[in-house]
Amino acid sequence: MVTVLVSGSLLSYFVSNYLYREQRERLIVQAQEISFLVGAALALPGSPAAMLRLADTFERLLGAAVWITDASGEVVITSPRFRQDRGRRLPAAEIERVLAGKTVVHLQYDPQVRENVLSVAIPIWVNGRPAGAVVVRSPLTGMAATWQGIRRELGRAALLAVVFAALVGLTLSRRISGPVREMTAATRKLAAGQYRVNVPVRGDDELAELAGAINELSERLDNTIAALNREKSQTQAILTSIAEGVIAAGARGEVLFANGPARRLLGCDDAPDQDGGARLAELTGTPVREAAREALMRALTQNQAVQIQVEGLGGRQLAIVASPVRGSAGESQGAVALLRDISEEIRQERNRREFLASVSHELKTPLTSIRGFLQALVDKVAGDEKEVQRYHRLMLQETIRLTRLVNSLLDLSRIESGVLQLHLQPVDLGELADEAVNQMLPESDDKGVSLENKVGVEEELPLVWADRDRVKQILINLLDNAVRHTPAGGQVEVSAHLVSSRGAGPGAGADTEVEVHVRDTGVGIPAEELPNIWERFYKVDKSRRRYVEGDAGGMSDRSGREAAGEGSGTGLGLAIVKELVLLHGGRLGVDSEPGRGSDFWFTLPVQGPRRPPE
């Protein structure tokens, strides 16, 4: 009886809420449609008359009052039936919320119609600004009638349910053995491992208490087992998905677990997995397996962490770190080993040492020259004033070269550390290329190399979105590199054209880039050296030399064509070019053939960042 009453009350509450929500959502949708039409009508001549017709039409279609207010909340237009409402003013708080772009819905008693009225207020948008509000008001007469009918039907259903429940209760009361059979079946399911069981609880006697205890036990067991399974699955998923290899061994030397990366590093896909079953003694056949076995066995027997470095497949360097697993009392329960590929770390350390050695060499060379010239001047080796001036000029050149090397190192360090910030703006690439070419003309003329700018000549280009100074630095680095490695009588030219941002070909669409080329007719670069030319201090051919003017008219050698870009070549120019292009979000590359010259290219975006609409 109580259940039926409670269910009826809840159903009554839910149905009334449902009807109210349906009515509210319908009015909101209708108000939004009217707001859109009114906003459009305000832009037309004779908008008041048009809005009056709209209000009248929607009143007849919807059976609801339609108000149109101005920005102050005053009702300026209604349908003819509600003419008396013109001049009314919405509450200040309500119109303030509407003009803030919010939808205001409220239900209140209206003394004019003597019943509850549901009201919805929607802002009217004109040119992106709220110009007023549309208010749709609908009495709840229809909903109340519908609700009265539903209540009558619910009352009949509740009466039938009470009669039926009485009959069922009378029948069940005669079946005392039914609950016993149900509880017996439930306990058998628990014993079989099916922990989610539910015994119906009838009444408050001893049988009901026993049924409730069985249900509680079932729920607790099910939750505990589910939590354990989730924890196990989560741990297993973590161990399986990490990049490093993990091997776990028990206290008796049995392999309990090995994830995928561990099996790959061990060199066998059939190595022990999470099902276990194998023993450490079976890990043989390769240096990695034997090193893993040794590390785990030592961790088990010595009860301390062990680290071993070994060379794996393909010459990869692996670090194996094994640690004992101890129980709460400190006893050994097994060991776990982590297999990690440290090849990249070793390579980076080697590169760091080579970089320091290269920097030291690059700094030492000009300093040695300067010292030699100074020593010659101190010892008065120079024969006349002309010779002294020549020494001074050479020392100045070496000092400039040293300054450029330090500046290049600082630039590269700022780029790689993320300190360098680009000042992006629209840039005329043709104008910028002219400046770079003019700056390089003295050096190209001294060497007898023709230098030409074709940017914007063959094809009209849009402005690029870039840092003007850094793009100029890119161009000067590439031009200097080209001029220094082009013999007398050769040519160097700069050109540019539009390409798709996906490299699909030329075109001036929404997703385009400008591709800049610096071509020379110089000595070229072997194909096997091309992937490495962007590295710092990389020497394309260590058997070739570049020359600078030396003492007594001689030549002092330096390693040949480098990834260089400034002045007499710091060995850092192309490395800086790469980092600056990538910082702009562009691409770069080079096409070259020994004896036929090189074509260095990079891309810059045409469009800047998109701004949100105002």
pTM of the predicted model as reported, rounded to 2 decimal places: 0.43
The two tokens of residue 309 are 């470095």
The two tokens of residue 391 are 């020494």
Judge whether residue 263 has pLDDT over 70. Answer: yes
From the list 248, 230, 227, the residue with the least C-alpha distance to 239 is 248
Residue 557 β-bridge partners = 547
Judge whether residue 547 has pLDDT over 50. Answer: no
Span of 192-196, 270-274, 418-422 with lowest mean pLDDT: 270-274
Q: Which residue is listed with tokens 């960042």?
A: 609
Element (H, E) at 211: helix 206-241
Pairing of strands 512-520, 115-126: unpaired
Element (H, E) at 104: strand 104-110
Residues in the chain: 614
Contact of 130 with 117, CB cutoff 8 Å: no
Instruction: Look at residue 592 in the predicted model and tell me its pLDDT.
Output: 92
DSSP, collapsed to helix, strand or coil, labels residue 74 as strand
| pLDDT winner (highest mean) among 82-96, 204-218, 593-607 | 593-607
Contact of 64 with 27, CB cutoff 8 Å: yes
Q: Which residue is listed with tokens 């029948």?
A: 171
Instruction: Look at residue 581 in the predicted model and tell me its pLDDT.
Output: 93
DSSP, collapsed to helix, strand or coil, labels residue 38 as helix
484-537 confidence digits (pLDDT tens): 899 999 999 999 999 987 544 444 444 689 999 999 999 998 988 888 888 877
Pairing of strands 245-250, 332-341: antiparallel
Judge whether residue 105 has pLDDT over 70. Answer: yes
CA 143 and chain centroid, separation:
50
Instruction: Look at residue 336 in the predicted model and tell me its pLDDT.
Output: 87
From the list 401, 396, 444, 442, the residue with the least C-alpha distance to 571 is 401
The two tokens of residue 434 are 């002219």
The two tokens of residue 194 are 């099916």
Region 57-65: mean pLDDT is: 70
Judge whether residue 541 has pLDDT over 60. Answer: no
Which residues neighbour 536 within 8 Å (Cβ) at sequence distance 6 or greater? 355, 358, 412, 563, 571, 572, 575
Region 347-359: mean pLDDT is: 74
Cα separation, 181 vs 186, in Å, equals 9
Instruction: Look at residue 334 in the predicted model and tell me its pLDDT.
Output: 87
Q: What is the mean pLDDT of the chain?
A: 77
Instruction: Look at residue 2 in the predicted model and tell me its pLDDT.
Output: 61
Instruction: Look at residue 605 in the predicted model and tell me its pLDDT.
Output: 92
Instruction: Look at residue 491 in the predicted model and tell me its pLDDT.
Output: 94
Cα separation, 89 vs 371, in Å, equals 92
Q: What is the number of alpha carbons within 13 Å of residue 347 lying toward its C-beta? A: 8
From the list 345, 440, 413, 467, the residue with the least C-alpha distance to 576 is 413
Span of 168-182, 304-318, 351-365 with lowest mean pLDDT: 168-182
Cα separation, 478 vs 527, in Å, equals 19
Check the CA dihedral 310-313-316-320 and report its sign. Answer: negative
Judge whether residue 548 has pLDDT over 50. Answer: no
CA 413 and chain centroid, separation:
25
Q: Read off the DSSP letter of residue 539.
A: B
Residue ranges and CATH numbers for the domains of the chain are: 1-141 (3.30.450.20), 237-342 (3.30.450.20), 347-417 (1.10.287.130), 425-503+510-540+569-605 (3.30.565.10)
What is the secondary structure of 235-277 as a DSSP string? Answer: HHHHHHHSSSEEEEEETTSBEEEE-HHHHHHHT-TTS--TT--
Span of 57-71, 296-310, 513-527, 543-557 with lowest mean pLDDT: 543-557
Exposure of 480 by Cβ count < 10 A (0-12 exposed, 13-18 middle, 19+ buried)? buried
Instruction: Look at residue 468 in the predicted model and tell me its pLDDT.
Output: 92
Instruction: Look at residue 444 in the predicted model and tell me its pLDDT.
Output: 92
Instruction: Look at residue 519 in the predicted model and tell me its pLDDT.
Output: 95
Judge whether residue 381 has pLDDT over 90. Answer: no
| 172 vs 374 pLDDT, higher one | 374
**Confidence band (pLDDT; 50, 70, 90) for 544?**
very low
Judge whether residue 429 has pLDDT over 90. Answer: yes
Cα separation, 248 vs 276, in Å, equals 9
Judge whether residue 236 has pLDDT over 60. Answer: yes
Instruction: Look at residue 142 in the predicted model and tell me its pLDDT.
Output: 58
Contact of 574 with 584, CB cutoff 8 Å: no
**Confidence band (pLDDT; 50, 70, 90) for 562?**
very low
Pairing of strands 491-500, 512-520: antiparallel
Pairing of strands 491-500, 450-453: parallel
Contact of 542 with 560, CB cutoff 8 Å: yes
**Confidence band (pLDDT; 50, 70, 90) for 121?**
confident
DSSP, collapsed to helix, strand or coil, labels residue 500 as strand
Q: Read off the DSSP letter of residue 281.
A: G
Region 12-23: mean pLDDT is: 71
Cα separation, 495 vs 506, in Å, equals 14
Region 326-344: mean pLDDT is: 82
DSSP, collapsed to helix, strand or coil, labels residue 165 as helix
Task: Give me the percent of the chain exceeding a pLDDT of 70.
Answer: 79
| 417 vs 296 pLDDT, higher one | 296
Would you state the torsion angle of the CA atoms of residues 392, 398, 400, 403, taken in this order, to the nearest 10 degrees?
-140
**Confidence band (pLDDT; 50, 70, 90) for 148?**
low
| 571 vs 75 pLDDT, higher one | 75
| 299 vs 314 pLDDT, higher one | 299
From the list 12, 14, 15, 29, the residue with the least C-alpha distance to 138 is 29
Residue 590 β-bridge partners = 600
215-229 confidence digits (pLDDT tens): 888 888 888 888 888
Q: Which residue is listed with tokens 């990389």?
A: 538
Judge whether residue 131 has pLDDT over 70. Answer: yes
Instruction: Look at residue 559 in the predicted model and tell me its pLDDT.
Output: 31
Residue 279 β-bridge partners = 254
Region 422-437: mean pLDDT is: 92
Region 324-352: mean pLDDT is: 81
Question: 356-375 burial, b for 16+ CB within 10 Å, e for fewer?
Answer: eebbeebeebbeebbebbee
Instruction: Look at residue 246 in the predicted model and tell me its pLDDT.
Output: 86
Judge whether residue 564 has pLDDT over 80. Answer: no
Cα separation, 15 vs 149, in Å, equals 12
Helix axes 468-484, 429-447, angle to 10 degrees: 30
Cα separation, 220 vs 512, in Å, equals 63
Instruction: Look at residue 426 in the predicted model and tell me its pLDDT.
Output: 94
Judge whether residue 212 has pLDDT over 60. Answer: yes
459-486 confidence digits (pLDDT tens): 889 999 999 989 998 999 999 999 989 9
Q: What is the number of alpha carbons within 13 Å of residue 424 lying toward its C-beta? A: 15
The two tokens of residue 489 are 């009588």
Instruction: Look at residue 7 in the predicted model and tell me its pLDDT.
Output: 64
Cα separation, 370 vs 377, in Å, equals 11
Judge whether residue 26 has pLDDT over 50. Answer: yes
Contact of 479 with 519, CB cutoff 8 Å: no
Cα separation, 293 vs 279, in Å, equals 9
65-95 confidence digits (pLDDT tens): 788 888 888 888 877 777 777 778 888 888 8
Instruction: Look at residue 414 in the predicted model and tell me its pLDDT.
Output: 79
